[in-house]
Amino acid sequence: MATDPATAIYNLMQTDPSIIAVAVLKGKDIVYSTDNWDISGDVGRLVSSWAGQNAQSLTVSGVKYSVLQCEQERLVAISMKGEGSICAAKDDEHKIICYIEPDGDARGAVMDVQRTLGFLSSNTPYLDGNSQLGASGGVQPSAGGNIDPQLKGEIQSFLEWIKDSEGLSGYINYYLQQNNTPIISELSKIYSELRLIFGV
């Protein structure tokens, strides 16, 4: 069941406090906006630029942002003058556009925004959340009980981020190219821990 936009955005802003203003769109119509942000004059240009996927910059509420990532499902842009950043995600029904405070991480926030889209969606999932793939017969509950839907959403977003060339592999490649020893060392530890967890 879909969550109303006000509740979904409240939860999003609680999850990532660096998100300080949000607008939810259906098409080019704003269906919800936080009280501290009016982007009604910018929505048309913003949506068109995003759809074209070739904009190098955007202007929202009089602030110019340089586009870092512009894909069909997500958008990340930062102000070169340190005035914060914009991150956005969309699905077939909604677009969520967020303003991130200057010290916030827009690339990290966009994962939370994508996860929030799932709570707004009125589409029903292909599988029941309790279905077990590969199981013959009826649904067999797991020993641990039901999985928290928010946790499940976080895991699914994490998996998408791992698969995305701009996600985990992009960060790893960047730090390898920068020869950042502390980060590479921590990544090595995490890799070792994951191998132990999965027994490989």
Report pLDDT for 171: 73
Residue 126 within any structural domain of the chain: no
Say whether both 112 and 33 belong to one domain: yes
- The CATH code of the domain that includes 52 is 3.30.450.30
Say whether both 13 and 85 belong to one domain: yes
Say whether both 61 and 100 belong to one domain: yes
Say whether both 15 and 79 belong to one domain: yes
Contact 12, 94 (CB under 8 A): no
Say whether both 55 and 98 belong to one domain: yes
Q: Please, how many CA atoms are within 13 Å of residue 8, restricted to the half-sphere of its CB?
A: 26
Report pLDDT for 99: 95
Average pLDDT per 10 consecutive residues for the chain, totaling 200 residues: 84 92 91 92 89 87 90 90 93 92 88 88 59 53 64 78 74 77 80 77
pTM of the shown model: 0.62
Closest by CA position to 183, among listed 174, 193, 196, 170 = 174
Say whether both 55 and 109 belong to one domain: yes
Instruction: Identify the helix (H) or strand (E) that includes residue 154.
Output: helix 149-163
Contact 19, 13 (CB under 8 A): yes
* Number of separate domains in the chain: 2
**Token digits of residue 50:** 């995003």
Say whether both 39 and 94 belong to one domain: yes
Residue 30 within any structural domain of the chain: yes
Which domain, by its residues, includes 167?
149-198
Apex CA 45: angle with CA 83 and CA 70, to 5°?
Answer: 65
Contact 67, 46 (CB under 8 A): no
Say whether both 153 and 78 belong to one domain: no
Closest by CA position to 20, among listed 89, 109, 130, 123 = 109
Residue 184 within any structural domain of the chain: yes
Phi-psi region at 151: left, alpha or beta (left = phi > 0; alpha = psi -120 to 50): alpha
Say whether both 102 and 181 belong to one domain: no
Report pLDDT for 135: 52
Burial code of 34-67, b = ≥16 C-beta within 10 A, e = fewer? beebebeebbeebbebbeeeebeebebeebebeb
Distances, alpha carbon 91 to alpha carbons 41, 114, 119, 123, 179, in Å: 22, 9, 11, 11, 37
Report pLDDT for 92: 87
